[in-house]
Amino acid sequence: MDTNDSCFDVQVTSTAIVCPTKSPSSKSITVPLSIVDCTVSYYARCACVLYYHPPPPSEPVLSATHLQNSLAQTLDYYPQWCGQLSYTKAQKPGAGHTARYHRVNLTYSTSNDVGVVFTTATSPKVLADIIPSAEQRIKSDRAWDAGHVNASELIPSIPLAMSRQAKPDSPNMIIQHTVFACGSTTIGIAMTHGLADAQSMSHFVHDWSVMSHSMLSSGDDLPKPTPVFDPGLLDRYAAGDIDADYPDPSIKAKSQKLPRLRGDWYKHVEGQPWPTMTPPDWHEQDLSTLSESDPIPWSDWDTTAPVSNRILHFSSADILQIYASAQSAADGARFSKLDALLAHLWQCIARAREVPQKHICLTFGLRARLSPPLPSNFLGSPIMNALVPVPCTASQIRQSLSDFTNDNLAAILHAEAFEVSPQRLWRAMLGGANLLVTTWLNLKLYELNWGTGVGTVRWVQPEMGSDGLVEIMEAPSLGEKGGIHWSDNGVDINLFLESKAMARVLADRELFPGVES
């Protein structure tokens, strides 16, 4: 994937720090992040770029000043994201699960809050020359080559908190507004993954766009967003006493039976592409209760191999046919359309790779899976990865996910509350023998309305880019009204594969069913 060269020729014109309009309280607030948030603090940032058509000729382009003002108003309801993240040091026994080694704390509402970095930029390019419209992509090129689109140009080049390059004052969120010569605009957003998964980020963007729209509509009262920032709420689903000195052996054993990888970021492997993530004071800790782990199989992943990126569009009719074919071969097993689509895609990729496949890791959300469910506006990164056996079928995907019941999730939360450095374990793997699947479904990012000064969404691009990564998102509606079910408008699959394997996938006659949209 050739994203090293500039395709947008972006010129940064200004950078500002945006903070809430309300002054911080007289006393700082420190909140421990949830058990699960701590496990993802080493993850790559959660990021995407929103590409917009030009506004109508009668409207000026949406200004960066207005976006900054509406952002500040929105941050009044998200003040936590302007604060600073830090790791805990080792605490004495009995201090509770949030004070154990290498947990993540968030401190905010101080005069030292780092705020949100907002960069303004321009591009001399015409966006339509680089990115086709949704209609062109869906109807004319169902496997559009997105490898030349360098999303990192459209997001500030500033390290986020918790990243390898982080500094003490690194922000948790960065935003870039870029205006193109044609009047098209992009809004690029990146966040520290421990604070926000895709659903949290999209919820914020929706709130921000509604605020923007209201501020441009004379007479409208400004909205009052209602995000739920309560990391401890997720921890309360854990089984047993997570503040005890030691884990419950039976609960821990229950969690270890679930299908998950246990790669260890702190175990050095000869020839690994990056240094280990081992904290400097790791060997000063009491490691007598360290859980079992495996060396990360770096030999599976040639990080120097060229990677291609294609956006595969499957229409609603395609999905129905794939689902029907899977049902006819499943002997009565129950599964969803998404299960069938993922199994179909895996089979095409497995044929193309021509090497034995090892792992399929599915990222799934906890909000709706827990009982009672977490609210949809719950902030954080409540996600986990499930391991699916290979060869993969739709029914195997469903069975693997069904193992993660409320009771089993409670056991996982219990076990992870006692982990020595919970982010040590990587529950996924990439490279030529593995797939990591994540879904951005039901986020409705194609329905954002910022008010006047911006056209409709041309494309939503999650920032990703490693061999074996699969991201699934609803396709935009080409009609006046979109569908209700995630598959009604079809889906766009953002696929990253080693370039030779990608070429074989595209040549596979079974990739797209022979159905007219």
Three-state SS sequence of 150-191: CHHHHCCCCCCCCCCCCCCCCCCEEEEEEEECCCCEEEEEEE
Looking at residue 152, its amino acid is S
pLDDT at 5 over 70: no
pLDDT at 165 over 70: yes
The 10s digit of each residue's pLDDT in 329-356 is: 888 889 999 999 999 999 999 999 999 9
Residue 452: left if φ>0, alpha if ψ -120 to 50, beta else—which one?
Answer: beta
Nearest-angstrom CA–CA distance, 346 and 367:
26
Going by pLDDT thresholds of 50, 70 and 90, the confidence category of residue 481 is low
Side-chain-side CA neighbours of residue 327 (13 Å)? 11
Distance of CA 439 to the CA centre of its chain: 8
pLDDT at 322 over 90: yes
CB atoms within 10 A of CB 190: 28
The whole-chain average pLDDT of the chain stands at 94
The 10s digit of each residue's pLDDT in 368-393 is: 999 999 999 999 999 999 999 999 99
Paired with 278 in beta bridges are: none
Over residues 219-245, the mean pLDDT reads 95
Looking at residue 71, its amino acid is L
What's the whole-model pTM score?
0.95
Interacting residues of 233 by C-beta distance below 8 A, sequence separation 6+ = 34, 374, 378
Distance of CA 205 to the CA centre of its chain: 14
pLDDT at 482: 61
CA distances from 280 to 102, 267, 276, 368, 409 (A): 11, 14, 11, 38, 31
In the numeric block, the tokens 């219990």 are attached to 414
Going by pLDDT thresholds of 50, 70 and 90, the confidence category of residue 2 is very low
SS3 of residue 457 by DSSP: strand
The 10s digit of each residue's pLDDT in 72-96 is: 999 999 999 999 999 998 777 778 9
Looking at residue 188, its amino acid is G
pLDDT at 483: 66
Fold of 11-507: Chloramphenicol Acetyltransferase (3.30.559)
Over residues 204-212, the mean pLDDT reads 97
pLDDT at 306 over 70: yes
Going by pLDDT thresholds of 50, 70 and 90, the confidence category of residue 516 is very low
CA distances from 495 to 50, 352, 402, 439 (A): 18, 13, 25, 12
pLDDT at 289: 81
Q: Which of 463, 390, 488 is nearest to 433 (CA)?
A: 390
pLDDT at 515: 46
Over residues 11-30, the mean pLDDT reads 93
CA dihedral 483, 488, 494, 500 (to 10 degrees): -160
Paired with 143 in beta bridges are: 312
The 10s digit of each residue's pLDDT in 444-471 is: 999 999 998 888 899 999 998 899 999 9
Phi, psi values for residue 395, rounded to 5°: -70, -30
Q: Where are the beta strands (DSSP E) in 286-433?
A: 294-295, 307-314, 359-365, 383-388, 425-426
Distance of CA 138 to the CA centre of its chain: 24
pLDDT at 131 over 60: yes
pLDDT at 219: 75
pLDDT at 4 over 60: no
Nearest-angstrom CA–CA distance, 265 and 206:
35
pLDDT at 1: 46
Interacting residues of 121 by C-beta distance below 8 A, sequence separation 6+ = 10, 11, 12, 13, 154, 176, 177, 178, 179
Domain residues of the chain, as ranges? 11-507
Paired tokens of 449:
């309305």
pLDDT at 3 over 80: no
Over residues 484-491, the mean pLDDT reads 90
